C-alpha cells in the first residue's frame, strides 16, 4: 500500500482514538481532595506483572487491590511527555490544548533547545483551573508545562535552561512567592530543574510531602522523571530501570502516606504519559531535506531558509511546511517522504497525511507525520548526520499511539473508589474528567466521558 494513503482501517482507528465529540461532565456532590502522581515512562505491565518481572513495588501494587486500574492507556500523537501530560491535565488532545511536542518549533535553531515550559501556551481549561473553581487550593511539584499557572496556589514548576546554578534562581523566580525558600528551609536544597535522575525525584518527594503537611492542597500534582531518564539510558526493563522504579515506589508510598494523613478521604491517582521500546538506530531526515533543497544553509552551515522542516519527537517526526497550502510544495515533500519510506535504511513505518494527523488530534502545524518502526528514533537537528546510524539511546517513545507498546498507566484508589476494578483499555482523555468529578469539579471541554470508578 502507498505509504501516503490513508487506509480505511487506520483512519477508523485514529478517529476512535482522538476525535470523539466533547462530553459534558457532571460533578458529584462530594469534593474529595485529589493527589495526582505521574511516573514518566511507567509501562502498565510493570505494575500488572510486577512479580513476573521481578519488581518489588508494593506501594504501586496496592492500587490493584485497593482501587481501580486500566490495563493500558491509549495516548496522543506524539506519545511524548509534554503533550501527554497536558492531555492528562485537560482531557483533550494536543490539537485542542496546544502543546503539540516537547520542544517548540525552532527551524533556525535560535531557541537553544527550548521546551513548552510555559502554561500560557495551553489553550484548554486544566484540572488546576477546575479545582480552583470548585473551591480547592491547588499545588504542583515539577509537572510539565506549569510555569505561570495562574490557578495554582503553590507552584514549584518545571523549567531549566543549562544546568548552570542560575537555573535555581530562575526556578525560584517562577515559583510561588516565598514557597521555594520556605520548603528549602525545611527540606534542604531543591533539585536542579535539569536533574532528571531518581535522586532528583527523591528530593522533590521531600518537597511535595512537606507541601502536603504544611499547605494541604485540595489538588496536588507531582511529577517524577527518573524512570524515563533511566529507560532512555539503559532500556526499558533493564536492571537499572527496574531499580529506579523500585526507588520511585518508595517515593509513591511516602506521598500516599502524607496525603492520607492530611486528607483521609483523598482520591490518589498514579498515571504515566507513554510506554517504551528498546532502540538501536538514529534516523535523521535533515540531510535528505537539505539535499532536496527544502532546507538551505548559509556559509556557516546554519539554516538560512526553509520550505519544509522535520520536527523530531522521539519515535516520530512531524514535517512542517513554510507554505502548507502550496500544492506543489506539498507534492514535492510527499514524493520525498515516499522515496524515503521505500528505503529500508530509513526504518519508516508510515507517513500520515494532514487528514490523518487531524483524526489523531495531532499537531495542526504538521502537513505530514512520519512514524518510525520500533527500534528507530528521530535524531535531533544536525546538518552532517547520515540518514541512519547506531544510537547511543537504549529506549524511546514518541511513536504513533496505535503501537501497543506506547500504552501508559492509570491507577486510582481512595474513599468511594471501587476496589479491584479492571477498567480495561482506556483513552488518556478520560482521566482528567474522572478526577474532576472526584473533586466536585467540571471539565466541560473534555473529549471523553469520565470513567466509572465509584464503588
What's the CA gap between 405 and 407, in Å, rounded?
6
CA distance 36 to 26: 20
- Convert the pLDDT of each residue in 108-117 to its tens digit: 999 999 999 9
Residue 74 has pLDDT above 50, yes or no: yes
| C-alpha separations of 166 from 119, 172, 261 in Å | 21, 10, 36
pLDDT at position 271 is: 98
241-265 average pLDDT score: 98
Percent of the chain beyond pLDDT 90?
91
pTM above 0.85, yes or no: yes
Residue 30 binned pLDDT confidence (cut-offs 50, 70, 90)? low
Residue 261 scores a pLDDT above 50:
yes
Which residues sit opposite 271 in a β-bridge? 38, 410
Rounded mean pLDDT, 259-267 = 98
Q: Please tell me the predicted confidence (pLDDT) of residue 23.
A: 41
Q: Is the pLDDT of residue 217 over 60?
A: yes
pLDDT value at 28 more than 50: no
Structural contact between residues 251 and 350, judged by C-beta atoms closer than 8 angstroms: no
65-92 mean pLDDT: 98
Q: 248 vs 98, 133, 417, CA distance in Å? A: 30, 32, 24
Average pLDDT over residues 136-143: 98
Q: What is the pLDDT of residue 24?
A: 39
More confident residue, 342 or 4: 342
Q: How far is CA 158 from CA 9, 79, 172, 408, in A?
A: 39, 19, 11, 21
* pLDDT, position 92: 98
Residue 31 has a pLDDT of 85
d(CA 153, CA 179): 10
Cα 176 from chain centre? 24
Q: Is the pLDDT of residue 27 over 70?
A: no
Above 60 in pLDDT, residue 392?
yes
Dump the DSSP string for 352-385: EEHHHHHHTT--TTEEEEEEEPTTEEE--S-SS-
CA 117 to each of CA 26, 137, 157, 227, 229: distance values in angstroms, whole numbers, following the listed order: 31, 22, 9, 20, 18
Q: What is the mean pLDDT of the chain?
A: 94
- What is the bridge-based pairing of β-strands 281-283 and 376-378? parallel
Residue ranges and CATH numbers for the domains of the chain are 20-276+403-438 (3.40.720.10), 280-392 (3.30.1360)
Residue 1: pLDDT above 90?
A: no
- For residue 35, which phi and psi values (nearest 5 degrees)? -110, 120
Helix residue spans in 49-80 (DSSP H): 58-66
Cα separations in angstroms, 453 against 17, 59, 70, 84, 408: 21, 20, 11, 22, 18
Q: Which of 354, 444, 434, 449 is nearest to 6 (CA)?
A: 354
Taking the C-alpha atoms of residue 348 and residue 371, their distance in angstroms, rounded to an integer, is: 6
- Which residue is associated with the grid cell 522533590? 204
The whole-number pLDDT of residue 4 equals 40
d(CA 7, CA 140): 42
Task: Work out the average pLDDT over 283-310.
Answer: 96
The pLDDT-based confidence of 352 (bands split at 50, 70, 90) is very high
Mean pLDDT for 370-380 is: 97
In tens, the pLDDT along 404-427 reads 999 999 999 999 999 999 999 999
**Mean pLDDT of the region 217-230:** 98
Average pLDDT over residues 16-42: 68
Residue 125: CB atoms within 10 Å: 22
The whole-number average pLDDT for the span 227-253 is 98
- Kindly tell me if the per-residue pLDDT of 2 is higher than 90: no
Amino acid at each position: 500500500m502507498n505509504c501516503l494513503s490513508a487506509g480505511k482501517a487506520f483512519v477508523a482507528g485514529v478517529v476512535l482514538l482522538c476525535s470523539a465529540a466533547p462530553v459534558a461532565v457532571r460533578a458529584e456532590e462530594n469534593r474529595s481532595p485529589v493527589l495526582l502522581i505521574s511516573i514518566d515512562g511507567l509501562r502498565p505491565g510493570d505494575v500488572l506483572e510486577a512479580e513476573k518481572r521481578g519488581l518489588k513495588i508494593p506501594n504501586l501494587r496496592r492500587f490493584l487491590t485497593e482501587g481501580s486500574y486500566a490495563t493500558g492507556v491509549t495516548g496522543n500523537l506524539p506519545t511524548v511527555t509534554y503533550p501527554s501530560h497536558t492531555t492528562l491535565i485537560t482531557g483533550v488532545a494536543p490539537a485542542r490544548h496546544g502543546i503539540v511536542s516537547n520542544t517548540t518549533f525552532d527551524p533556525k535553531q535560535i531557541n537553544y533547545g527550548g521546551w513548552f515550559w510555559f502554561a500560557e501556551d495551553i489553550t484548554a481549561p486544566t484540572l488546576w483551573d477546575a479545582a480552583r473553581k470548585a473551591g480547592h487550593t491547588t499545588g504542583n511539584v515539577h509537572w510539565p508545562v506549569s510555569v505561570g499557572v495562574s490557578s495554582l496556589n503553590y507552584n514549584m514548576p518545571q523549567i531549566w535552561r543549562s544546568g548552570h546554578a542560575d537555573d535555581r534562581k530562575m526556578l525560584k523566580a517562577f515559583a510561588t512567592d516565598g514557597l521555594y525558600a520556605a520548603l528549602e528551609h525545611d527540606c534542604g536544597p531543591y533539585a536542579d530543574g535539569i536533574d532528571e535522575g531518581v535522586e532528583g525525584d527523591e528530593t522533590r518527594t521531600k518537597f511535595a510531602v512537606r507541601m502536603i503537611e504544611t499547605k494541604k492542597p485540595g489538588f496536588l500534582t507531582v511529577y517524577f522523571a527518573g524512570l524515563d531518564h533511566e529507560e532512555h539510558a539503559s532500556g526499558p526493563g533493564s536492571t537499572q530501570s527496574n531499580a529506579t522504579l523500585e526507588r520511585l515506589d518508595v517515593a509513591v508510598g511516602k506521598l500516599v502516606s502524607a496525603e492520607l494523613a492530611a486528607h483521609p478521604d483523598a482520591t490518589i491517582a498514579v498515571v504515566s504519559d507513554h510506554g517504551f521500546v528498546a532502540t538501536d538506530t538514529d534516523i535523521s531526515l535533515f540531510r535528505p531535506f537539505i539535499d532536496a533543497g527544502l532546507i538551505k544553509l548559509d556559509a556557516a552551515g546554519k539554516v538560512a531558509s526553509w520550505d519544509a522542516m522535520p520536527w523530531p519527537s522521539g519515535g516520530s517526526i512531524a514535517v512542517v511546511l513554510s507554505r502548507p497550502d502550496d500544492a506543489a510544495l506539498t507534492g514535492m515533500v510527499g514524493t520525498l517522504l515516499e522515496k524515503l519510506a521505500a528505503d529500508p535504511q530509513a526504518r519508516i513505518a508510515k507517513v500520515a497525511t494532514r487528514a490523518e494527523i487531524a483524526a489523531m488530534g495531532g499537531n495542526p502545524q504538521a502537513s505530514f507525520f512520519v512514524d518510525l518502526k520500533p527500534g528507530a528514533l528521530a535524531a535531533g537537528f544536525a546538518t552532517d548526520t547520515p540518514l541512519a546510524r547506531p544510537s547511543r539511546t537504549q529506549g524511546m517513545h514518541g511513536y504513533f499511539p496505535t503501537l501497543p507498546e506506547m500504552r501508559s498507566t492509570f491507577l486510582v484508589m481512595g474513599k468511594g473508589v471501587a476496589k479491584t476494578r479492571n477498567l480495561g483499555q482506556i483513552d488518556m482523555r478520560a482521566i482528567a474528567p474522572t478526577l474532576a468529578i472526584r473533586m466536585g469539579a467540571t471539565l466541560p471541554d473534555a473529549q471523553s466521558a469520565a470513567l466509572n470508578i465509584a464503588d
